[in-house]
């Protein structure tokens, strides 16, 4: 009689499964499973075993998209900006260096205590002599990374990895009007989107895809002497862009957030696209203060344009080969699409590691 009665609520009132919880749990678990599959594929590739292409179905892509990667990326960005106590910096950064194979001997500041937070460490600068810029070849690598694919663009399709393509028009968006570019469209252009980008007779359209791993140098530079006339920002998903996922999801780069810079070089059309990824929602272009990526909300399939040609600046933004252009907050992907004469040759092999300043190709 002295015992107190224990009142309990029904289980359903204590814990209610909401759709958001189910999506996060299911999507997160599936993303973990895909990471394990990617690891197995990487091991097979290291052993020289060719891996057959197996594309994701629509429901698998939808399930992956259900993971709130944009929210997680913004949270990761805020975490990266938290100042670490001096005594904690070396253990945290040393773990990162060991995990991703970072070469700190190339860093302008090797002392790990100098970097107040993870964001500063990710965006560390290199010693001037660490990345000599090739002066012989006309196009250099804009960043450190791994060459996923390169070659001529054919039938308005571009390969993100061998055997997996995406639409050139979906990736770049509708063609920029010739009034916004300070070169006029050539009389030899045809009706297809690919032909509209080629401004000179005898030229072809080429592409090159470079994947930046988390341990790579995170700044990117101008790959050649060119003039940037236009910027197009596509808000979108922030799925992983590592080679395993790029092999699995068709048109991955068209799903993800990206910043497309277009303009011209001595041979005609030239573009550089910075593609965002999980934990890399922040893409910064140094000369573009109006660009804001990974905003909390956006309209699906939307994009916004900005022209660098104005009454006061009729030429656009001139960039010199090797000049600082922008940065990621972690690793991601750079895609170059440009026109050049038919005798342009790439000095590359698919899958090779490359560093900023090394040659991509030349005439």
DSSP string, 230-298: EEEEE--B----SHHHHHHSTTHHHHB-EEEEEEEETTEEEEEEEEP-TT---EEETT-TT---S-S--
DSSP-based three-state secondary structure for 170: helix
> Which residues in the chain show pLDDT less than 50?
1, 9, 11, 13-15, 17, 20, 23-24, 27, 30, 178, 182-189
**Active-site residue identified among 222, 229, 282, 332:** 332
Rounded-to-integer distance, Cα 113 and Cα 85, Å: 9
**Active-site residue identified among 144, 216, 264, 288:** 144
The per-residue pLDDT for 18 is 55
**Active-site residue identified among 221, 230, 255, 267:** 221
DSSP-based three-state secondary structure for 149: strand
Up-side HSE of residue 6: CA atoms within 13 Å toward CB?
2
* 222 noted as active-site residue: no
Task: Report yes or no: 256 and 277 within 8 Å, Cβ to Cβ.
Answer: yes
Rounded-to-integer distance, Cα 269 and Cα 141, Å: 18
The per-residue pLDDT for 336 is 96
Distance set, CA 357 to CA 136, 141, 323, 347, 361 (Å)? 11, 6, 10, 13, 12
Helices and strands in the chain, H and E counts: 10, 17
The per-residue pLDDT for 55 is 78
The per-residue pLDDT for 2 is 58
pTM metric for this prediction: 0.79
**What is the number of other CB atoms lying within 10 angstroms of the CB of residue 300?**
7
* 221 noted as active-site residue: yes
Rounded-to-integer distance, Cα 97 and Cα 157, Å: 37
Up-side HSE of residue 121: CA atoms within 13 Å toward CB?
29
Task: Report yes or no: 185 and 196 within 8 Å, Cβ to Cβ.
Answer: yes
The per-residue pLDDT for 40 is 67
- Alpha helices for the chain (secondary structure H): 11-14, 19-46, 58-65, 69-80, 86-100, 118-122, 168-172, 193-197, 243-248, 252-255
Up-side HSE of residue 40: CA atoms within 13 Å toward CB?
8
Rounded-to-integer distance, Cα 355 and Cα 269, Å: 24
* 114 noted as active-site residue: no
Dihedral of CA atoms 170, 282, 263, 212 in degrees, nearest 10, equals: -80
Task: Report yes or no: 198 and 188 within 8 Å, Cβ to Cβ.
Answer: yes
The per-residue pLDDT for 36 is 65
**What is the number of other CB atoms lying within 10 angstroms of the CB of residue 140?**
25
The per-residue pLDDT for 20 is 45
């Amino acid at each position: 009689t002295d015992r107190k009665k224990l009142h309990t609520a029904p289980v359903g009132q204590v814990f209610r499964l909401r759709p958001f919880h189910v999506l996060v749990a299911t999507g997160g678990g599936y993303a973990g499973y895909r990471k394990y599959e990617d690891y197995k594929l990487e091991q097979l590739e290291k052993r020289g075993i060719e891996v057959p292409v197996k594309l994701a179905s629509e429901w698998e892509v939808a399930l992956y998209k259900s993971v709130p990667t944009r929210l997680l990326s913004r949270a990761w960005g805020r975490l990266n900006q938290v100042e670490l106590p001096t005594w904690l910096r070396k253990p945290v950064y040393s773990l990162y260096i060991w995990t991703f194979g970072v070469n700190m001997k190339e860093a302008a500041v090797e002392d790990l205590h100098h970097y107040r937070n993870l964001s500063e460490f990710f965006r560390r600068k290199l010693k001037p002599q660490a990345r000599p810029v090739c002066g012989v070849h006309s196009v250099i690598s804009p960043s450190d990374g791994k060459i996923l694919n390169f070659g001529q663009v054919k039938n308005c399709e571009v390969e993100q990895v061998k055997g997996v393509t995406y639409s050139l028009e979906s990736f770049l968006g509708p063609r920029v009007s010739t009034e916004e570019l300070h070169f006029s469209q050539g009389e030899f252009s045809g009706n297809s989107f690919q032909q509209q980008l080629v401004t000179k007779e005898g030229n072809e359209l080429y592409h090159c895809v470079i994947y930046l791993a988390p341990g790579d140098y995170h700044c990117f530079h101008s790959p050649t002497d060119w003039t940037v006339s236009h910027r197009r920002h596509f808000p979108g998903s922030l799925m992983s862009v590592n080679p395993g996922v790029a092999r699995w999801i068709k048109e991955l780069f068209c799903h993800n957030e990206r910043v497309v810079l277009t303009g011209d070089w001595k041979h005609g059309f030239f573009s550089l696209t910075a593609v965002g990824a999980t934990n890399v929602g922040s893409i910064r272009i140094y000369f573009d203060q109006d660009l804001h990526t990974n905003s909390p909300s956006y309209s699906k399939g939307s994009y916004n344009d900005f022209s660098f040609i104005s009454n006061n600046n009729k030429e656009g933004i001139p960039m010199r080969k090797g000049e600082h252009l922008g940065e990621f907050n972690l690793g991601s992907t750079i895609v170059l699409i440009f026109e050049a004469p038919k005798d342009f040759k790439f000095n590359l092999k698919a899958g090779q590691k490359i560093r900023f300043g090394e040659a991509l190709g030349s005439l």
